[in-house]
A and B are shown apart, each in its own frame.
Chain A
Amino acid sequence: MESIVIGVTALLGLYMAWNIGANDVANSMADAVGSRALSVKNAVILAGICEFAGAVLVGAPVTDTVRKGIVSPDSFLSIPGITPEQAAALFVIGMTSALLSAAIWLNISSFMGLPVSTTHSIVGAVAGFGIAAAGWHSVQWGKMTQIVLSWFVSPVAGGIMAFWVFRFISRAILGQDRPTKAAIKYAPYLVAAVTASVVLATIYKGLKHVIGHITWLTPQMSIYITILLSTVAWFISRWWLGIRLKGKEKLPVAQQLDLVEQVFVPLVIITSCSVAFAHGANDVANSVGPLAAVVRVLQTGHVAQKVGIPFWVLVLGGSGIVLGLATFGYRVMQTVGTKITEITPSRGVAADLAATTTVLICTRLKLPISTTHTLVGAILGIGLARGLAGINRDVAKRIFGAWFVTVPAAAILCVLLFLVGKIYFWDVLTRVCTK
């Protein structure tokens, strides 16, 4: 019986992950595909690898937040007249309905053309079930406030960072008398920055659940490793740029600018991959956070989420994302590629670098945010730095509008599903949870 419940929840989690892979992943690779740095096929392959790696390697912190940070599992035990087994049953029903309602809401909104985020849906749904099951106080409002604030802060932070990164590219490289010469001098710093943000996010307090606890990998040590790898990246890119651009500074400026954009091509591929990595790390939680909670409750027979996240759960989430990408996401990738032709590799690098860093910092802070919205913020930031022509400002408004609907809609939907689920599955699950 226990395995059936886990199996059903796992299927729901897989479906949610499929949704993320089908709809969101294309956005994270948009800059590389739009600037023609990558073909759609290669973008799908690279995105698959990076999303999976991000989900499995760095997916744990945010997954933790979804399974126990929004709704306090302990508050279920303090419901008057409830046994621990009944509390566990409530928690399982609730988390499962949260998954189901987030998935349904995503389908409704994509049918209506609303730019809804999976993150906002799942957070709304989980909070909704908490309120319905254990009352208003069961939601950890401090954490919830942090999360909602981070939804405002992350696109703005992405925008500000992209603005300054692009300003740097534009002033230090593109705007120089000899752009090729300037690129050899300054572009390696961008490569080092990209390397640093990805490496630091991966190894700092990470990897525990993958390779087990590595004693020598102290926070201090991981900073040293980051500095070392960034320096190596700096030297490699410097050497490569030297080969590509040396002696080209006598060419007409227009040709030099073309050449500089060309050397940004490998960089935009790397940065887009790191956005996909960051996306996998932050968004896998939307699909497997509730699943992780259900699995732990059923295995321990207790709502308390003291034990870490099962490794296979993250693997399942990562696989679901890859599956969604392979079955449906490549079509979205194609539309993205044909519609955003105005972006050039240099702009792509600035937007991606800002988005990656913002998302990875939020991931480290255990905050579930929307990668897509952060990237939209970053692209608007480049528009403000006069880097892009014809940016549609309405999209920002529509995104903002969709938030206000999503959280309550997903919450209400989840409450309804929870009440129905409680009628049908209460007895069964109480028995399952009784060890």
Chain B
Amino acid sequence: MSIISELFGKSPFGALVEHTKKVHECVEMIKPLMEALSHENYILLRELHNKVSKLEYEADKIKHEVRGLLSRRVFMPVDKIDLENFLRCQDKIADYTEDFSVILTIRNTKIHPSLIDKFFKLVDQVFQVTGTLLTAAVELQNLAEVSFSGAESRRVLKWLDGLGEEEWKADRIARDLSRDIYKLENEVDTMTIIFYEKMILTLGQVANEAENAGDMLRNMLIR
């Protein structure tokens, strides 16, 4: 009826910020999961796993909603491929978080007392990485308001600059932790060591995807 109203689609940035927040809710569950594991409270662990599963499912729903708004015909202020990759990275953060909760629930693993501190240090560092990404990504709607340029854009880029270093720190902690784990190879059975490694690997992937998401966000801003 009115050609002008057909011209306007819905902006995906509102839903995208929702997705960021939901993914972060998933990531926020890592520490409680780790705490439940260290207290060997396997019942609580299962409950928490269900919660992560549910959050991951909700994030998926928002992801589909965002995808629906990125139709080929619409015109975006940022590169659509960057936007899609950003969404995919965030999606993977939620996936790996769920994987982590699955690993903790498929076997009643015990954390060796000498490793607990370092495991928590790693968890905290991973959270540092995803937290930095969250701070930057929730600005997407404001960035759209200032057309991805100017002071606001510079501010977000500055936050993102710290992301690489935080991820590198997480990597270093993970490596350190691995060394400690293999030192215990005569004390702890092999199966448990495999599980420890799986946990570290998955946490590392969470941090890695957060860094990738940050790179995509940077691409959107500098192009």
User: Which stretch (A66-74, A173-181, A283-291, A316-324) binds chain B?
Assistant: A173-181
Which chain A residues numbered 318 to 358 have a C-beta less than 8 Å away from chain B?
A: 332, 335-336, 339-344
Quick one: which of B3, B6, B10, B149 contacts A390, CB cutoff 8 A? B10
Quick one: which of B75, B77, B145, B153 contacts A393, CB cutoff 8 A? B75
Interface pair A392/B147, CB less than 8 Å apart: no
In this assembly, does A420 line the interface, its C-beta being within 8 Å of a C-beta of chain B?
no
A-side interface residues, number (CB < 8 Å): 46
Given the interface pairs A170-B146, A170-B149, A389-B144, the reply to whether A395 lies near B7 with Cβ below 8 Å is yes
Give the complex CA separation of A335 and B1 in angstroms. 9
Interface pair B77/A387, CB less than 8 Å apart: yes
Interface pair A171/B7, CB less than 8 Å apart: no
Note all chain B residues with C-beta closer than 8 A to A335: 1-2, 5
In this assembly, does A131 line the interface, its C-beta being within 8 Å of a C-beta of chain B?
no
In this assembly, does A197 line the interface, its C-beta being within 8 Å of a C-beta of chain B?
no
Among A30, A115, A386, chain B packs the most CB atoms within 10 A around the CB of A386
In this assembly, does B11 line the interface, its C-beta being within 8 Å of a C-beta of chain A?
yes
In this assembly, does B115 line the interface, its C-beta being within 8 Å of a C-beta of chain A?
no
Interface pair B153/A175, CB less than 8 Å apart: yes
CB distance from B12 to the nearest CB of A (A): 6
Note all chain A residues with C-beta closer than 8 A to B8: 34, 339-343, 379, 388, 390-392
Among B6, B8, B10, B149, chain A packs the most CB atoms within 10 A around the CB of B8
Interface pair A170/B5, CB less than 8 Å apart: no
Among B74, B148, B150, B151, chain A packs the most CB atoms within 10 A around the CB of B150
Interface pair A174/B77, CB less than 8 Å apart: no
Given the interface pairs A372-B3, A392-B7, A392-B9, the reply to whether A254 lies near B142 with Cβ below 8 Å is yes
Note all chain A residues with C-beta closer than 8 A to B148: 386
Which chain B residues numbered 127 to 168 have a C-beta less than 8 Å away from chain A?
A: 142, 144-153, 155
In this assembly, does B73 line the interface, its C-beta being within 8 Å of a C-beta of chain A?
yes
CB distance from B84 to the nearest CB of A (A): 14
In this assembly, does B4 line the interface, its C-beta being within 8 Å of a C-beta of chain A?
yes
In this assembly, does B76 line the interface, its C-beta being within 8 Å of a C-beta of chain A?
yes
Listed in ascending order, the chain B residues whose CB lies under 8 Å from chain A are 1-13, 69, 73-78, 142, 144-153, 155
Known: A257-B152, A261-B145, A389-B144. 11 other contacts (CB 8 A): A26-B4, A27-B3, A166-B147, A174-B145, A336-B2, A376-B7, A379-B4, A387-B77, A389-B76, A391-B9, A395-B7
